């Protein structure tokens, strides 16, 4: 009978910062390495591999590694995934979530990073996104979801992402288990395919106090948006996913967005009524800067707080669109000064009447300007 065997990771083609691990539970402790940097880092790669096996309680497993520049934690993640695929049971470290201190900052840009693509992780903090979303759902092939979860966990444990918040988009049918693995590491979770307020509440209470953004991607989810937004204290935001929503509606997503404007408006209204954040769907044309700017401006005008991004080049465009212009800031300053001088009375500014709602809107502009500069 052959010894249990497991394979994890990727190699070949344009793979970078990753490795392919073939692991055999044969008790021989053999080690083979193919790497373009073997002459300089071969000893280090072997040390990390041996330390990982020892820490996971299987020091005598045999390894065959095809390396493409994997960092230490990526190598460790691939070895762990190969062990799991070989049938070894590994207990996750028990953690308790702590209230994230950075989540008071507004999230205008959410940049999605495929959870099984480690080459995107090392420079992610340089992209300037308010939140980095490690995506375990649509961006990961079904057969790779197990190893993606291990990789994301080890990445969040060891890598510094600067000022960017660290979010994880989970899989709807395994969200509770994935969240349990990442508690205390992720700043927030995105729960996809939300339709049932009771189910969302159950999840939110299980991971509390980690904030949860409910992703609405179906007609039923949109119809129940307010109930979902208010089902638990730690539901901190709503987001809309237009590709799945269009599929559910049986319509094609167009550049104008006319087919979903009513649905987007319903999600915005629900979030505003609940007093939580609301984020728009991604813009899928990576090379169309003008189209993205127009899309983001439309989202801003109907009340969205930010937009999802699928490429780093989209981040500064979204920030620029959502940041108040110099003219908007100057007008907001005039409105606030005049309204304060009138001690709450109605005044004219630039020929237009200013009352309390207008003044509060101007204060919101100044607050947003301070947050985006």
pLDDT at 105: 63
Residue 333 neighbours by CB distance under 10 Å:
14
- pLDDT value at residue 329: 80
In the chain, where does DSSP find H-type helix? 38-55, 72-85, 145-158, 175-182, 197-207, 219-223, 225-229, 242-249, 261-274, 289-301, 314-322, 326-341, 356-371
Which of 53, 118, 51 shows the shortest CA–CA distance to 86?
53
Matching residue, tokens 């693509």: 117
Structural domains in the chain, sorted by start:
5-85 (3.30.230), 109-322 (3.20.20.60), 326-371 (no CATH)
Give the residue carrying structure tokens 């996971």.
56
Helix (H, G, I), strand (E, B) or coil at 177: helix
- pLDDT score at 366: 79
Three-state secondary structure call for residue 348 = strand
Q: How many CA atoms lie within 13 A of 245 on its CB side?
A: 28
pLDDT at 341: 80
User: 64, 80 in Cβ contact below 8 A?
Assistant: no
Which pTM was predicted? 0.88
Phi and psi dihedrals of 312, rounded to 5? -55, -30
- Which residues, including other chains, have CB under 8 Å from residue 363's CB and lie 6 or more apart? 332, 336
Euclidean distance between the first and the last CA atom of the chain, given in angstroms as a whole number = 65
CA distances from 187 to 86, 182, 232 (A): 31, 10, 17
Please provide the DSSP assignment of 214-261 as one string. EEE-SHHHHHTHHHHHTSSTTEEEEEE-HHHHHHHHT----SS-GGGH
pLDDT of residue 102: 44
Name residue, tokens 């989970």: 170
- Letter string b/e over residues 93-132, b meaning 16 or more CB atoms within 10 A of that residue's CB: eeeebeeeeebeeebbbbbbbbbbbbbbbeebbebebbbb
pLDDT tens-place values along the chain, 373 residues long? 689 999 999 999 889 999 999 999 999 999 999 999 999 999 999 999 999 999 999 999 999 999 999 999 999 999 999 999 999 998 866 555 555 544 556 799 999 999 999 999 999 999 999 999 999 999 999 999 999 999 999 999 999 999 999 999 999 999 999 999 999 999 999 999 999 999 999 999 999 999 999 999 999 999 999 999 999 999 999 999 999 999 999 999 998 899 999 999 999 999 999 999 999 999 999 999 999 999 999 999 999 999 999 999 999 999 999 987 777 788 888 888 887 887 767 777 887 877 777 887 788 777 777 755 4
Q: What is the predicted pLDDT for the residue at 337?
A: 81
Which contiguous run of DSSP H or E holds residue 163? Answer: none
């Amino acid at each position: 009978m052959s010894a249990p065997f497991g394979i994890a990771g990727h190699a070949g083609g344009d793979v970078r910062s990753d490795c392919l691990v073939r692991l055999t539970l044969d008790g021989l402790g053999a080690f083979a390495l193919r790497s373009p940097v073997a002459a300089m880092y071969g000893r280090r790669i072997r040390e990390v591999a041996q330390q990982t096996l020892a820490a996971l309680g299987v020091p005598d497993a045999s390894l065959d590694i095809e390396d493409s520049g994997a960092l230490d934690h990526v190598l460790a993640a691939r070895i762990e995934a190969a062990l799991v695929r070989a049938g070894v049971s590994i207990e996750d470290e028990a953690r308790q979530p702590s209230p994230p201190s950075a989540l008071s900052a507004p999230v205008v840009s959410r940049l999605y990073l495929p959870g099984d693509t480690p080459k995107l992780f090392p420079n992610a903090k340089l992209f300037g996104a308010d939140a980095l979303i490690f995506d375990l759902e649509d961006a990961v092939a079904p057969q790779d979801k197990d190893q993606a979860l291990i990789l994301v966990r080890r990445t969040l444990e060891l890598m510094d992402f600067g000022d960017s918040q660290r979010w994880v988009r989970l899989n709807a049918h395994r969200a509770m288990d994935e969240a349990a693995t990442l508690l205390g590491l992720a700043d927030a979770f995105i729960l996809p395919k939300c339709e049932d307020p009771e189910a969302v509440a159950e999840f939110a209470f299980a991971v509390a106090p980690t904030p949860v953004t409910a992703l609405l991607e179906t007609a039923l989810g949109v119809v129940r948006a307010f109930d979902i937004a208010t089902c638990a204290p730690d539901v901190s935001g709503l987001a809309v996913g237009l590709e799945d929503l269009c599929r559910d509606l049986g319509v094609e997503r167009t550049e104008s967005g006319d087919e979903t404007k009513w649905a987007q408006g319903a999600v915005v209204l629900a979030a505003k009524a609940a007093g939580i954040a609301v984020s728009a769907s991604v813009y899928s044309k990576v090379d169309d800067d003008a189209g993205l700017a127009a899309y983001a401006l439309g989202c801003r005008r109907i009340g969205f707080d930010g937009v999802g991004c699928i490429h780093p080049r989209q981040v500064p465009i979204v920030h620029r669109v959502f940041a108040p212009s110099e003219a908007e800031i100057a007008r907001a300053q005039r409105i606030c000064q005049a309204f304060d001088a009138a001690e709450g009375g109605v005044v004219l500014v630039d020929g237009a009447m200013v009352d309390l709602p207008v003044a509060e809107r101007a204060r919101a502009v100044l607050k947003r300007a301070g947050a985006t500069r």
